[in-house]
């Protein structure tokens, strides 16, 4: 069956691969996850000392904008609630105590009802076995401990409810005001607080709906800080931090978490594959096919002297330009079987301590001659990598890095592949509900008053609001680019699923990586042939790299008849083995 030809000039009406889907989900996440929202504000929006990590498969600008909006709405809600309580307290302290007691009863009613049911069930489970045997099983001991703990919690909760019932009448009596007046004023205050909670919740749901609207999720106007974030997240230069040397005098080892450890390919996710050591090929001329054994033996005696190039047959930037040109067609937008969201870019990595020597790299415009000098200098502090990225919606991002250097009359290729996995599924579900349900604003607003006790308990976070506001004003006015300090950990990596749990996505990511890897090897082989370089050793090494992926990418390796350790032996004439042999 013949297929219709694919046009490479007309734009395909197929899927869009901009990665807006992940951006929208992260925008929803800042409203649902308070810790994630605070991380975005603290490490991205208000942190001008460090640069922003590169963004792979998403846009950080709308995420930071929605994080600030979510923080503003929450603190506005807490401020209004505390203001209502303060005004009520000025008019009648007994009414404030009555309102707080009503909130306490409100918050304890549900847990008490659940604990009563759980205690009754556990008592029945512990009563029946005690009639049939003397000793308790392991599960019965666990149930007995759970029953004791829940009974204690139930008693404390009932004591709190009793206190909340008695305290309002006592306070009204001490203040010498009718209890009905204090109750009426407290009910009015709670009604106002419920109205504030409903309005803020409706505004929050509206913001979530705006983040799900079609089109770009970016705000129409960008502040100075957001413009700086936008420049840094797309800038080709990345500042990385080298790990600190351990102090030998320390008696107690320092504990570190993966998120805090310095990483080279920051923002691109988990490092899933790398050529270690890098692929090194000597730049030798190919052997002559008609050479007899005598000449071949003489050639082998001084092969490096006769076959080696006195000067390199090419410069590193020429191979990089060739690879950049060859790798672009597999992501052509008009090809229906293209790699989705495919991009080929240049990336330069500079260590923090080497930044003062490379200030010119952080400018708005790039000098092609400067980039070529970096590529051709194998010992430069600035390391150039050709970056190839694949992503369909931003949820799965496969990024391949390749560094090309020519040194010691050899070609050295440093290959690495990183993967970003999916964001939490609750972000997607919340965004879908806000986009599809007609009552996405009304129903959450009606349920908001039921969370009043929890919101009052969270109002202590207002103590941190002044420091956040001061840092926000300082960041808004600052013109610092933070060029001298490496980025904080990427917020996208912080909310990505662990690589060990991405079982169903691993085949997709690894397949994309292998497509790029094999195309790079083939393009490099063709380039070496065109420049009179022997590729026999390169072909063998390439086959080894491809077949050795079983060790690097989670393949299964069975090792039998092996012994490990000093003086280890394998004894085959054991009784079991002899019986098996005789049978």
Q: What is the pLDDT of residue 257?
A: 40
> Global pTM?
0.80
Q: Which residues contact 537 (CB under 8 A, 6 or more apart)?
A: 281, 282
Beta bridge partners of 385: 347
Q: How far, in Å, CA of 194 to CA of 192, rounded? A: 5
Q: How far, in Å, CA of 573 to CA of 112, rounded? A: 68
Q: How far, in Å, CA of 562 to CA of 14, rounded? A: 54
Q: How far, in Å, CA of 88 to CA of 193, rounded? A: 12
Domains in the chain: boundaries: 57-219+425-462, 270-422+497-552
370 burial type by CB count under 10 A (0-12 exposed, 13-18 middle, 19+ buried)? middle
Q: Please tell me the number of Cα atoms within 13 Å of 101 on its side-chain side.
A: 23
Q: How far, in Å, CA of 526 to CA of 519, rounded? A: 11
> And the tokens for 111?
């847990």
Residue 398 in 3-state DSSP? strand
CA distances from 219 to 408, 470, 474 (A): 52, 23, 21
Local mean pLDDT, 10-residue blocks, the chain (583 residues): 46 52 91 93 91 91 94 95 91 88 86 85 73 66 81 87 84 80 89 93 89 81 90 89 63 45 80 90 74 48 65 92 93 84 92 82 78 92 94 86 93 94 86 66 84 89 93 85 74 89 90 93 93 88 71 44 53 48 45
What are residue 419's phi and psi, to 5 degrees?
-140, 135
Q: How far, in Å, CA of 147 to CA of 151, rounded? A: 6
Other beta carbons within 10 Å of 331: 19
Q: Are 490 and 53 in contact (CB under 8 A)?
A: yes
Helix (H) or strand (E) holding 353: none
Q: What is the pLDDT of residue 111?
A: 84
Q: Which residues contact 81 (CB under 8 A, 6 or more apart)?
A: 193, 196, 197, 452, 455, 456, 459
DSSP string, 300-314: HHTHHHHHB-SS-SS
Q: What is the pLDDT of residue 55?
A: 92
Q: What is the pLDDT of residue 583?
A: 44
Q: What is the pLDDT of residues 134-163, one digit of tens each?
A: 666 777 777 778 888 888 888 888 888 888
């Amino acid at each position: 069956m013949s297929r219709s030809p694919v046009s490479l000039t007309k734009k395909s009406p197929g899927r869009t691969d901009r990665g807006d889907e992940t951006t929208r989900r992260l925008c929803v996440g800042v409203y649902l996850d308070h810790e994630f929202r605070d991380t975005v504000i603290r490490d991205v929006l208000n942190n001008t000392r460090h640069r922003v990590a590169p963004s792979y498969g998403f846009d950080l600008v709308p995420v930071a904008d929605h994080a600030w909006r979510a923080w503003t709405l929450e603190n506005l809600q807490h401020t209004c609630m505390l203001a209502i309580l303060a005004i009520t307290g000025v008019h009648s302290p007994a009414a404030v105590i009555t309102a707080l007691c009503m909130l306490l009863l409100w918050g304890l009613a549900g847990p008490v009802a659940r604990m009563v049911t759980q205690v009754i069930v556990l008592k029945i489970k512990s009563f029946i076995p005690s009639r049939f045997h003397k000793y308790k099983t392991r599960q019965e001991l666990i149930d007995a401990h759970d029953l004791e703990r829940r009974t204690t919690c139930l008693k404390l909760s009932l004591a709190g409810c009793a206190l909340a019932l008695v305290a309002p009448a006592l306070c009204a009596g001490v203040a010498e005001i009718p209890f009905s007046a204090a109750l009426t004023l407290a009910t009015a205050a709670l009604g106002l607080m419920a109205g504030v909670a409903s309005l803020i919740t409706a505004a929050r749901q509206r913001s979530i709906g705006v983040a799900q609207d079609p089109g770009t999720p970016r705000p129409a106007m960008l502040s100075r800080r957001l413009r700086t974030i936008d420049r840094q997240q797309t800038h080709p230069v990345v500042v990385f931090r080298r790990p600190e040397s351990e102090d030998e005098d320390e008696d107690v080892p320092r504990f570190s978490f993966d998120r805090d450890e310095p990483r080279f390919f920051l923002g691109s996710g988990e490092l899933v594959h790398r050529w270690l050591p890098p692929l090194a090929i000597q730049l030798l001329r190919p052997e002559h096919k008609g050479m007899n054994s005598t000449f071949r033996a003489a050639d082998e005696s001084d092969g490096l002297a006769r076959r080696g190039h006195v000067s390199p047959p090419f410069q590193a930037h020429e191979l990089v330009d060739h690879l950049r040109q060859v790798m672009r067609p597999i992501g052509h937008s008009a090809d229906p079987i293209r790699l989705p969201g495919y991009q080929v870019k240049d990336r330069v990595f500079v260590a923090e301590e080497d930044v003062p020597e490379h200030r010119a790299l952080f400018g708005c415009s790039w000098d092609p001659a400067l980039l070529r000098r970096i590529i051709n200098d194998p010992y430069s502090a600035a390391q150039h990598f050709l970056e190839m990225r694949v992503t369909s919606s931003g949820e799965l991002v496969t990024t391949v890095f390749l560094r090309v250097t020519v040194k010691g009359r050899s070609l050295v290729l440093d290959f690495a592949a990183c993967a970003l996995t999916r964001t939490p599924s609750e972000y997607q579900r919340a965004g879908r509900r806000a986009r599809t349900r007609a009552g996405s604003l009304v129903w959450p607003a009606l349920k908001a008053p039921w969370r009043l006790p929890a919101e009052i308990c969270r109002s202590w976070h207002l103590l941190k609001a002044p420091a956040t506001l001061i840092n926000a004003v300082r960041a808004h006015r600052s013109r610092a680019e933070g060029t001298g300090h490496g980025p904080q950990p990427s917020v996208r990596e912080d909310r990505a699923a662990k690589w060990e749990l991405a079982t169903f996505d691993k085949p997709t990511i690894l397949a994309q990586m292998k497509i790029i890897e094999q195309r790079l090897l083939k393009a490099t082989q063709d380039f070496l042939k065109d420049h009179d370089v022997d590729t026999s050793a390169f072909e063998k090494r390439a086959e080894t790299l491809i077949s050795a992926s079983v060790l690097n990418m989670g393949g299964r390796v069975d090792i039998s008849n092996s012994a490990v350790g000093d003086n280890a032996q394998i004894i085959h004439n054991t009784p079991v083995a002899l019986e098996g042999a005789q049978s």
